[in-house]
Structure 1
Amino acid sequence: MTVRRLMGYWRTIKSENMVLKKVNSTTVLSSIPLQMIYYFNIFYFIFYILATFLMVIYKSQVFTFPGGYLALDLVLLILMIILEVTRLYHGFKGNLTEETVPIVINLVLTIGSMLLSLYYLLWQTYVLKADVIMNAILLIIYGLEEILDIIAVSSFAR
């Protein structure tokens, strides 16, 4: 017995007779709200990186950094860019192709991005009010993405 898919139907070929069964192949499981928040995250993250970089330059001119802390802030900013690009790539890919593995990779990488955002919110050398506002918004976006990622993974796994 062989099974072939033909224009939304499963065709089961038995010895002499054929049986056609209708398959629901038009169901789209991709999450539109998740895709929208990914797009918003791209634009907000570009703003965030530029503003954070300019604030680090401002802080280096106005305040005196203890040895090595300015370099640490800049290295973590570069690491955050790499992590965010990788994270968003897997998120877009997983949502559009309706695969669970890229979304799970995105979930794990989001935890790393959240920790880096927490560093810039709480533990960097000098924290300005603008840092607090920008990182709070970024953490809210990450939280929404995490919730929508979990919903997408559960719908893809069914």
Structure 2
Amino acid sequence: MLLYLSGAYCALYFLATLLMIMYKSQVFSYPHSHLVLDLTLLFLLGILEATRLYFGTKGNLVEAEVLLATSLVLTAASTLLSVYFLLWQTLVLWADSVLSAMLLTLHSLEAILQVAAIGAFIS
């Protein structure tokens, strides 16, 4: 169930972050190279999230440890990108901080449950 919630939230996060980057590029002086970097990392995050959620859902349904472990590794990579958008992007607005903190919370909960599920599937 948490994977479905995360899927909906990731779609919202992607759209909101994309709109905020567009807003920041219009209102603030946003260097072009940083804009390209932020957009590239955002689209990478979107692709990574879709792949992670697919492997997590599929691994949960068929009780496959390898698929869940792959999803766990992708969760770690996605967490790094979330931290980038929380702390290191060119301009961080308050809304960016709130959205990224919520995404990190979901990643943490999912990682804990994935480790527990892998342990249960192995034994």
Which bin holds the TM-score, normalised by the shorter protein?
over 0.9
User: Runs (4+) of structure 1 moved beyond 4 Å?
Assistant: none
Q: Does 1:104 align with 2:60?
A: no
- Structure 1 54/67 Cα, relative in aligned 2: closer, same or farther at 3 Å? closer
Deviation per CA, 1:88-128: give whole Å up to 9, x if none.
Answer: 11000100000100000001000110000000000000000
Match of 1:69 among 5, 25, 34: 34
Structure number having the greater strand percentage: 1
Q: Normalization by structure 2: what TM-score?
A: 0.98
1:50 is aligned to 15
Deviation at 1:65, TM superposition (A): 1.4
Gaps of 5+ in 1: 1-35
Percent identity between matched residues is: 52
**Between Structure 1 and Structure 2, which shows a larger proportion of helix residues?**
2
The unaligned stretches of length 5 or more in structure 2 are none
Secondary structure at 2:16 match in 1? helix
Distance 1:84 1:124 in 2: 19
Number of the residue aligned with 2:45: 80
Q: Is residue 2:114 matched to residue 1:149?
A: yes
Query: Number of aligned pairs?
Result: 123
Aligned residue runs from structure 1 range 129-140, under 5 A: 129-140=94-105
Greater Rg over alpha carbons, structure = 1
Alpha-carbon RMSD across the aligned residues, in angstroms, is: 0.6
